[in-house]
Structure 1
Amino acid sequence: MRTLIMTAALLAATSLTAANAANLRMSWWGSDDRHIATQEALKLCGGKFGHTISPEFTGWTGHQEKITTQLAGRTEADIMQINWPWLPIFSKNGDGFVDLNEFKDVIDLSQWSETDLKGGTVEGKLNGLPVSTTGRVFMFNKTTYDKAGLAIPTTWDELLAAAPVMKEKLGQDYYPFEGTALDARLVVILRTTQKTGKDLIDPATNQVAWTVEELADGLQFYQTMVDQGVIKSWKDVAAGGNAPLHENPAWAAGKIAGTYQWDSTYGKISGPMEEGQQLVPVKLLQIEGATTEGVYRKPSMLLAISRNSKEPKAAAEIVNCLLNDPNAIKLLGATRGVPSSKIALEELSKAGSIEPVQVEANKIVLESNGVGVSPLNEHPRVTEAFDSTFEAFAYGQASAEDAAAEIIDGINSALTGI
């Protein structure tokens, strides 16, 4: 009799699992290490709940276009890795994805800070859970600064003052910093935010928050760095082939001794450096009288659930497992950066899966204060309006005031109707 009861109970449990089983799809972009780790974690999480999850992964190039096409045709995966700046594109009013607040009994939202949850929220709806939080930090080559007898800068003025000393002590081809294209734009945004206490985009109006004079001052500071030999000019960088920092021989040799980068790129840009070079992350450089540190902090990526999913609860179970289950956390490791989930960070730190210096860089990002960054800062129309005119200014084809006015007009026009 006991055997019959146990057999019946087992069959009932098996039937229940089968009844609750779901066939899901998950899409993401990344490199091979992320692809392999994610597939292993999906097998674990699927087995835990009896769900089958079909993986759909690509590299970064073309992934947004793929998602755009799928969303238009309602053929997107149940679970999607979403880039933060895509939120206002795909979910303008917060209705583009499932509101994860509806599954707070399935997903342990207490593992995220209020700030992190806010980063994935649109119009009060939690559209995505931050997998990791990233931000821009200053990183300096301590070896080069030590050779020049210089301390690592803590202010913009100290950075400017480092240029003549470094060139005198080490050579005219040494630069204490670098800045062109995206890096230069974000330096301008940082300095202007520190001075004004405002982000580039006013979230209340979805228009540029700065005056022409305020932005012109930021552009002129960039030109001051060029004129004083702190950074190479835009033209000189282009003449050298516009090599990305991690492929630049001058960076590897320590002849470019500073940068302003995403904390998550530490390994990427420190890896190619020649033996003996030491790259250290430091707090944001400040201007005198700064109203804010001006940190540019954002979710590096989000996990979202399709509003067209036929199994949103099952998808929520998998999302919670991937981000909060200790075994899944170990499988994923740091393939998506330093995790935002508290339990994930704790598990990976205990396991030694994250380099201490990467944790240090991320800590600077998390502890710095700012004014909140709009995802519209990275809207393709916004970046095109800013960068095309900024480049013309950098080549001497426009004054700081004219360039600032054109950038503001261009961004405001681009954002109208978005």
Structure 2
Amino acid sequence: MKSTATFLTILAAATALSASVNAAELRMSWWGGGSRHEATQAALKICGEKYGHTINPEFTGWKGYLEKLTTQLAGGTEADIMQVNWPWLPLFSFKGDGFADLNSFKDTIDLSQWTDAQLDAATMNGKLNGLPLATTGRVFMFNKTVFDKAGLDLPKDWSELIADAAVIQEKLGEDSYPLEVTEDNPVLIIMLIATQRTGKDMIDPATNRMAWSLEELTDAVKFYGNLVDKNVTRSWKSWASEGNIKLYESPKWSDGKIAGSYEWDSTYFKYADPLEGKGELVPVSMLKVDGAVTEGVYRKPSMVFSISKRSENQKAAAEILNCLLTEKEGIEALGATRGLPASKIAAQTLMDAGVVRPELVSANKIVMAGTGPTVSPFNEHPRIRESFKDAIEMYAYGEFSAEEAADEIIYNVNDILEKYDQ
């Protein structure tokens, strides 16, 4: 009996020593608001205790985070685990070597919880540079109450929507429109139409250049112009004359004068809340043009968790990420502070617990079910988006023809992308 007790004592000591030897001290950085900060710190404490690691949190607001991360990565002082905005991946890791390749930790991280498409979206040059936290996408949302008043069903394709515009103006007034195409939406609608007609994303992954021909992009620009001409949407000039206010802040939206928009599924309640008691906002399947070869869904990771390529404790960091995103304790602690999780088990866990509201789930299902090519992070490169928008604004004000706008966009996009050839 004494020898058994002695053996157990030695075994316990050996186990404790092993845990101590494997323990790591990590740093993790992210941006967000108060609720995200609190939930993430709680999750890190739980996961750290589970695996015997200590994780020091480094959190800020959105403003200044990119500059801070840029400085840290340039100087080699970044945290072991980083929250990274998805469009930044090519800025920091165009060749895939800016972060650790998480494929190396497939025995530690349950990668089966993400679809191949989700992992592909976070892969640079064949290397998995981050784990998608949430998959978001653009979806059409319509105020069903407005369509009911006009005696119309919700549109199922672009032809129906264009025809609905005349009916809505006749029955509800000349200042009523079925769709808002302002802010970034002129760019995104043009991209949607070009993708539906060609089956191609804006950026050709093989050449890292504009994928659409001048004729293809010109036709998509003309489609946007036709929406304005047919009173499907207000003109850019009309929107600007009112101060370029956000749609969800506009009385025209809350009063039902504008009955639809094309927005991120994750922002559903931002647009639904102003309609409370006055309208019912319904997300619908992608509207397609005649002859579309794909729905052209714009689907992307909202952000990713990456591991530093310089971290001396990459395995420990992988254990923490797996806990946060695929294990019950971490999932419940993290909650929905970064949207509906991309991880299947995390999403199901939160839905079963009633943490995620059903309207958001419905909108996300449309995005996830949609067909379309993988979207390049370069689509949201700040200079690319700005130059695209500037050209369309010139077109909207009559300074460019559709072909001139398309030519300007193609030239500027390729010029920006050329810088990444080296």
The alignment's TM-score, normalised by the length of structure 1, stands at 0.97
Aligned pairs for 1:23-172 within 5 A: 23-172=25-174
**Structure 1: 5+ residue stretches without partners:** none
Cα distance, 1:151 vs structure 2: 0.9
Cα distance, 1:5 vs structure 2: 4.1
1:13 aligns with 2:10: no
Cα distance, 1:8 vs structure 2: 3.5
Counterpart of 2:334?
332
Counterpart of 2:270?
268
In structure 2, C-alpha distance between the alignment counterparts of 1:86 and 1:206, rounded to whole Å: 16
The alignment's TM-score, normalised by the length of structure 2, stands at 0.96
Letter in 1 for 2:342: S
In structure 2, C-alpha distance between the alignment counterparts of 1:251 and 1:32, rounded to whole Å: 29
In structure 1, C-alpha distance between the alignment counterparts of 2:158 and 2:362, rounded to whole Å: 22
Cα distance, 1:111 vs structure 2: 1.2
* Counterpart contact for 2:139–2:367, Cα < 8 Å: yes
Please give the per-residue CA displacement for 1:143-189, whole angstroms capped at 9, x wherever unaligned: 11111111111111111111121122122222110012311111110
Please give the per-residue CA displacement for 1:69-124, whole angstroms capped at 9, x wherever unaligned: 11001111110111111111111111110011111111111111111111111111
Counterpart of 2:350?
348
Q: What's the secondary structure of 2:134's corresponding residue?
A: strand
* Counterpart contact for 1:96–1:307, Cα < 8 Å: yes
* Counterpart contact for 1:253–1:274, Cα < 8 Å: no
In structure 2, C-alpha distance between the alignment counterparts of 1:382 and 1:90, rounded to whole Å: 16
In structure 2, C-alpha distance between the alignment counterparts of 1:340 and 1:118, rounded to whole Å: 13
* Counterpart contact for 2:145–2:280, Cα < 8 Å: yes
Q: What's the secondary structure of 1:181's corresponding residue?
A: coil
1:413 and 1:216, CA in 2 relative to 1: closer, same or farther beyond 3 A? same
**Structure 2: 5+ residue stretches without partners:** none
Cα distance, 1:388 vs structure 2: 1.2
In structure 1, C-alpha distance between the alignment counterparts of 2:41 and 2:254, rounded to whole Å: 34
In structure 1, C-alpha distance between the alignment counterparts of 2:148 and 2:41, rounded to whole Å: 45
Please give the per-residue CA displacement for 1:306-358, whole angstroms capped at 9, x wherever unaligned: 01111101100000000011121112222111111111112112111111121
1:218 aligns with 2:220: yes
1:371 aligns with 2:373: yes
Question: What is the RMSD computed on CA atoms of the aligned residues?
Answer: 1.4
In structure 1, C-alpha distance between the alignment counterparts of 2:13 and 2:255, rounded to whole Å: 66
1:360 aligns with 2:379: no
Cα distance, 1:415 vs structure 2: 1.0
How many pairs does the alignment contain?
A: 418
In structure 2, C-alpha distance between the alignment counterparts of 1:55 and 1:272, rounded to whole Å: 36
In structure 1, C-alpha distance between the alignment counterparts of 2:64 and 2:253, rounded to whole Å: 29
Cα distance, 1:378 vs structure 2: 0.9
In structure 1, C-alpha distance between the alignment counterparts of 2:261 and 2:330, rounded to whole Å: 34
Cα distance, 1:4 vs structure 2: 4.4
Q: What's the secondary structure of 1:272's corresponding residue?
A: helix
In structure 2, C-alpha distance between the alignment counterparts of 1:122 and 1:255, rounded to whole Å: 44
In structure 2, C-alpha distance between the alignment counterparts of 1:4 and 1:197, rounded to whole Å: 70
